Amino acid sequence: MASSIVQQLFDLQDMTYQAFQCKLMPTVDPNVVIGVRMPDLRRLAKQLRNTSESQAFLSQLPHTYYEENNLHGLLLCEDMDYSHTVQELERFLPHVDNWATCDLLAPKAFRKHPEALPQQVYQWLQAEHPYTVRFGLGVLLRFYLDDCFQPCYLDWAAQVNWEEYYVKMMVAWYFAEALVKQPEAALPYLLEHRLSPWIHNKTIQKAMESYRISPDQKEFLRTLRRK
C-alpha cells in the first residue's frame, strides 16, 4: 500500500519545485524531497481520506520521503476524533524533522475541544524533540490567541528554553502575534525583558513586519530593541 502511495507522489513530481523547496529547508536531505506542490498533495490527501489505503499508510512509520510525512500530516488533520487525533500525533510528531511539515499540522478536531487541548499542549512544550515543541507553540498561536486566550499561555511560551533555531523562531512568532491580538498581556514581556535577547529582538522584528501593527506602535517597538 505504501509503495503505491509513494508512486502516486512521484507521479506528481515537479523537479523545479523540488529544487526550490530544498532551498527553504536546509535541514532536510534533498534526496528525500520528491518535489510535490502543496495543492497537488492536498488533492491526493482528499482522494485517500478514509480509504483502506490511507489507513495502511498511516500505520507505517517512519516514512522515507518528506512528502510522505506531509501527506501523513494532512490526513491526520482531517480526523474529527479528538482522542484519536492526539494519539496519532503522539506517534507521528517524533518523526517530524523540519519546520514545513510541523507547521502544516492544524487538526480540525482541535477546534471542538478548546478546554481539553491546553494540557496536552503543555506536555508537548516539555518534550525533548524540537519539532514537537514547535508544534505545541504553533497550537497556542493558531488556537489560543483569540477567544480562548489565557495569560498563562504567554508564560508557557516564554519558558521554552531551546537553542534550536526553529524553536526560537516559533517563540518569537508567537509573541509577535500576541502583540497584535493580546497587546496588553504581551507587551510586558518586552518591557520587563522576560525573553532572551535574541527572541526579544526577533519578536520585535516579526511584529514590525506585520501590517496589523500601526506606525506609531512600530516606532515604539523600535525603542525596545536590546543590544
pLDDT in tens, 198-222: 999 999 999 999 999 999 999 999 9
The residue among 94, 113, 132 that closes a domain is 113
**Does one domain contain both 164 and 212?**
yes
Terminal C-alpha separation, the chain? 55
Distance, in Å, from the CA atom of 189 to the CA atom of 182, rounded to the nearest integer, reads 12
Left if phi > 0, otherwise alpha if psi is -120 to 50, otherwise beta: which for 164? beta
* Distant-in-sequence, close-in-space partners of 100: CB < 8 Å, separation ≥ 6: 21, 24, 25, 70
**Does one domain contain both 77 and 60?**
yes
pLDDT in tens, 175-195: 999 999 999 999 999 999 999
**Does one domain contain both 159 and 73?**
no
Three cell numbers, residue 20: 526550490
Distance, in Å, from the CA atom of 100 to the CA atom of 66, rounded to the nearest integer, reads 10
**Does one domain contain both 106 and 55?**
yes
Please state the pTM of the whole predicted model: 0.95
Three cell numbers, residue 38: 502543496
- In this predicted structure, the answer to whether residue 89 has a pLDDT above a threshold of 90 is yes
Query: Could you list the residue range(s) of the whole structural domain that residue 129 is in?
Result: 115-227
- In this predicted structure, the answer to whether residue 1 has a pLDDT above a threshold of 60 is no
**Does one domain contain both 11 and 37?**
yes
Distance, in Å, from the CA atom of 11 to the CA atom of 217, rounded to the nearest integer, reads 49
Q: Domain tally for the chain?
A: 2
